[in-house]
Amino acid sequence: MSANRVIEDYSEQKDDEIKTTATSAIAALTGNADFTFSTQLSDVVAAESTYSTKLGLVATGNKVSVTTKNIAKEVLEAKMSVLAVEVNLQAKGDLVKLKGTGLVLAKLPSHHTMDVPSDFKVLRGNIAGTMEVSVAKPIYSTHGTIFAFWKPSLGATPANINDWFFRHANGHSLTITGLTPNVAYPFAAALKGMDDEALVWSAITTKSAGD
């Protein structure tokens, strides 16, 4: 199962915190095309409304109000849990969808298996014989980015990108130098994980070096 998910237990959240989380989730999930709910969302809407009313009464210092507030909070916690479970089932680990729910994301593990890098760009550099390469910064930690290319002057491009020339960037962009102007080079990129972890390459992009 994917590590990406929202938390399903809201019993540890304080009075104002769970109210904020609930209202955030209601706003984010109402009309959200990524999710379809039967009663899970409407149940949270009703429970949040009741809880907000009871929470406001606590300001009077009435012991009965505190008791009814706590009961309403327990109901809201339960409804939030049911909603979160359904969100996780429908999102199937899709981090973009999960981040759009208004719910609290569970802490990601310290190490995340590297995915295919997104938004791989190869642009002509401002100086002759250079190319500017970059990928989007992932939401998890990496050991930088590996940019690969092949020199056509050495013959046919190897089918295995691991046999190409590598340039390692500590971040997510790099200027590759020493290329021959107006010669088309194939480029690829991979996020760097642990040393024993296989590189997951992007699609190959072929561009001519700047002149």
Mean pLDDT estimate for the chain: 90
Q: What are the pLDDT digits (tens) for 33-49?
A: 999 999 999 999 999 99
Mean pLDDT of 86-109: 89
Q: What are the pLDDT digits (tens) for 27-37?
A: 999 999 999 99
In 3-state terms, what secondary structure has residue 56? helix
Say if residues 34 and 80 touch (Cβ distance below 8 Å): no
Q: What are the pLDDT digits (tens) for 69-80?
A: 999 999 999 999
pLDDT number for residue 64: 75
Residue 52 identity:
S
| 10, 19, 98, 103 from 73: Cα distances, Å | 10, 9, 24, 17
Q: What are the pLDDT digits (tens) for 126-172?
A: 888 999 999 998 877 888 999 999 999 999 999 999 999 999 999 99
Q: What are the pLDDT digits (tens) for 101-139?
A: 999 988 755 556 788 999 999 999 888 899 999 999 887
Q: Where are the domains of the chain?
A: 15-99, 121-208
Please report which confidence band the pLDDT of residue 22 belongs to, taking 50, 70 and 90 as the band edges: very high
Kindly report the CATH class assigned to 121-208. mainly beta
103 DSSP assignment: S
pLDDT greater than 60 at residue 211: no
pLDDT number for residue 139: 78
Integer-rounded Cα Rg, in Å, for the chain is: 25
